[in-house]
Chains A and B, each alone.
Chain A
């Protein structure tokens, strides 16, 4: 289970963008979290991905409460969760080739030896050719870079996958292709999925169930309106 209970989080403790949000995902389940942009759903996704420490509330991952976030999270916990963000250009080190980008988590966790095998298995799965793997981010399209970012998220074989607006910048065909990659990984691995987005049609087609931001924030939540700026 991935359980978030009454999570309050944000970038200003006096004005948190997420208030008392609760959501739980069963093993192997895929849940779509639907909300307008700027509502705080990306912040909640970062909390679930152990990348952002909440001000209050509890996160329980596979039965164990999460106590550390980012680098304070034990390696074993951090690697249980793979993340893909909306904007691949902001999420990719421009100096790395796509091959290095995909291999990054393996190197960071001392599993260098697995790099050739894992990259060789993932690149065709996400549709990247050997030639593209040798390029750097500025030499590929957004769609190609997002394919590499998805491969990077899968390279450690996470039990959980968080896709935060993964396809918001992409065309229909690339969107369908990336969703297919995620779903085929989930069929093989049994991984659970939290897909955060604003496209109801997409999330409902993709996920087992889709929940709205207001539901997640419960009665006590003061979900901001779509007009509110994101920090």
Chain B
């Protein structure tokens, strides 16, 4: 069953969904735009406590590809995004590696490099709360024009039409350009923020919950637009809890639970047949109103008090003794008892 009524946006040839990429490299011949290896983020809290917000994340993202990182709020996906942008608070410690296609190591780059050459130029951010991201005392037009001058060097009489084109790209209505952020609906603020993110023509677009609170048709327009900007040389990392949005535009899906990527799958296979392999991902899809509309029992564990073994065990109908040992992520799945379409459990040594 499909959750997206509309046609899927055209896929770029770089994201051939039939050939499974070998582990550790992106699909197609192009080098990955982003390559994440063993990325972990720990927060040190009062009293010496630690929060394991992201543990051992591992994925590649190729040009022309859209990877949707899905999971419940608090699963660590937004922390992962902040780590890539160097926007973590001071009590955070990162380890592992996150390489851009040009060789920039995001985890160790200093703030000056990140501010001057990465954010906006190499990574365009479509933020989670656009109202907070936009400057409250300046109109949308003023913000677009300033960003154009700064990132593209557009000058003089060219700025005004360029700002209008930038707005149009994100379907922001020209009639609202002279408004202030607080005069915009959530949907329009999101489009203004998207327009800003696209100006730098960055090779990697990072959209953090870009559709929260938007109407379905606006969700579809927003993600279709993001997808449209992805086709070609740009890659899109879409961080979302909106599975319908992910299904609509993603080539691959990474499912995050309690700070870990537990499944990485081709989107068509994941949303269609044979469906997800991980019991959590299975439960997440079953919770959709267009499917069984049945919640996963319980709630995710606290990231500061993760259980030994599989973090999903307390909520998992398939859990057994083996699940007391943390299931390793093999590049596509982290689970001792994979869900299979035929209901059979694979026999593993």
Residues on A lying within 8 angstroms of B by beta carbon are 36-38, 86, 127, 141-144, 165, 168-177, 179-180, 198-202, 204-206, 226-230
Decide: A229 and B299 in contact? CB cutoff 8 A: no
Q: Does B187 lie at the interface of the complex (its beta carbon under 8 Å from any beta carbon of A)?
A: yes
Decide: B287 and A175 in contact? CB cutoff 8 A: yes
Q: List 15 other contacts, CB 8 Å, given A127-B299, A227-B187.
A: A36-B217, A36-B218, A37-B218, A38-B185, A141-B72, A142-B74, A143-B72, A165-B213, A175-B295, A177-B296, A198-B214, A199-B216, A205-B293, A227-B188, A229-B183
- Residues 211-236 (chain B) with a chain A CB within 8 angstroms: 212-218
- Which of A37, A142, A144 contacts B186, CB < 8 Å? A37
Q: Does B294 lie at the interface of the complex (its beta carbon under 8 Å from any beta carbon of A)?
A: yes
Q: Which residues of B contact A176 (CB under 8 A)?
A: 287-289, 293-295
Most buried by B among A171, A201, A226: A171
Q: Which residues of B contact A143 (CB under 8 A)?
A: 72-74, 299
Q: Report if A36-B72 is in contact (Cβ < 8 Å); known contacts: A205-B289, A206-B289, A229-B184.
A: no
Q: Mark B275-310, 1 if CB is under 8 A from A, else 0.
A: 000000001110111100111101100000000000
Q: Which residues of A contact B288 (CB under 8 A)?
A: 172, 176
Q: Which residues of B contact A38 (CB under 8 A)?
A: 185-187
A176 to B186, CA, bound (A): 24
A225 to B146, CA, bound (A): 29
Q: Does B243 lie at the interface of the complex (its beta carbon under 8 Å from any beta carbon of A)?
A: yes
- Which of B290, B293, B295 contacts A174, CB < 8 Å? B295
B262: shortest Cβ distance to chain A, in Å?
A: 14
A182 to B313, CA, bound (A): 27
Q: What are some 13 contacts across the A-B interface (CB < 8 A)?
A: A38-B185, A38-B186, A86-B213, A143-B74, A168-B212, A169-B213, A171-B72, A171-B241, A173-B72, A174-B72, A201-B290, A227-B176, A228-B185
- Which of B173, B215, B287 contacts A172, CB < 8 Å? B287
Decide: A202 and B289 in contact? CB cutoff 8 A: yes
- Which of A171, A175, A206, A227 contacts B185, CB < 8 Å? A227
Decide: B213 and A37 in contact? CB cutoff 8 A: yes
Report the number of A-B residue pairs with Cβ-Cβ less than 8 Å: 102
A187: shortest Cβ distance to chain B, in Å?
A: 16
Residues on B lying within 8 angstroms of A by beta carbon are 3, 71-74, 173, 176, 179, 183-188, 212-218, 241, 243, 283-285, 287-290, 293-296, 298-299
A206 to B217, CA, bound (A): 20
Q: Report if A142-B73 is in contact (Cβ < 8 Å); known contacts: A175-B287, A198-B216.
A: yes
Q: Report if A141-B73 is in contact (Cβ < 8 Å); known contacts: A37-B187, A173-B283, A205-B289.
A: yes
A77 to B24, CA, bound (A): 63
A141 to B74, CA, bound (A): 7
Most buried by B among A86, A173, A205: A173
A128: shortest Cβ distance to chain B, in Å?
A: 9
A10 to B218, CA, bound (A): 24
Q: Which residues of B contact A141 (CB under 8 A)?
A: 72-74
A165 to B3, CA, bound (A): 20
Decide: B215 and A173 in contact? CB cutoff 8 A: no
Most buried by B among A172, A202, A205: A172
A127 to B296, CA, bound (A): 12
A107: shortest Cβ distance to chain B, in Å?
A: 27
Q: Which residue of A lies closest to B179 (CB)?
A: A229
Q: Which residue of B lies closest to A147 (CB)?
A: B299
A231: shortest Cβ distance to chain B, in Å?
A: 9
A209: shortest Cβ distance to chain B, in Å?
A: 16
Q: Which residue of A lies closest to B187 (CB)?
A: A37
Decide: B217 and A226 in contact? CB cutoff 8 A: yes
B173: shortest Cβ distance to chain A, in Å?
A: 6
Closest 8 pairs between A and B when the two form their complex, measured CB to CB: A177-B295, A176-B295, A205-B289, A172-B287, A198-B215, A38-B185, A171-B241, A173-B287
Q: Which residues of A contact B289 (CB under 8 A)?
A: 175-176, 199, 201-202, 204-206
B6: shortest Cβ distance to chain A, in Å?
A: 13
A143 to B287, CA, bound (A): 15
A167: shortest Cβ distance to chain B, in Å?
A: 10
Q: Which residue of B lies closest to A142 (CB)?
A: B73
Decide: A144 and B299 in contact? CB cutoff 8 A: yes
A170 to B283, CA, bound (A): 15
Q: Which residue of B lies closest to A206 (CB)?
A: B289
A206 to B215, CA, bound (A): 17
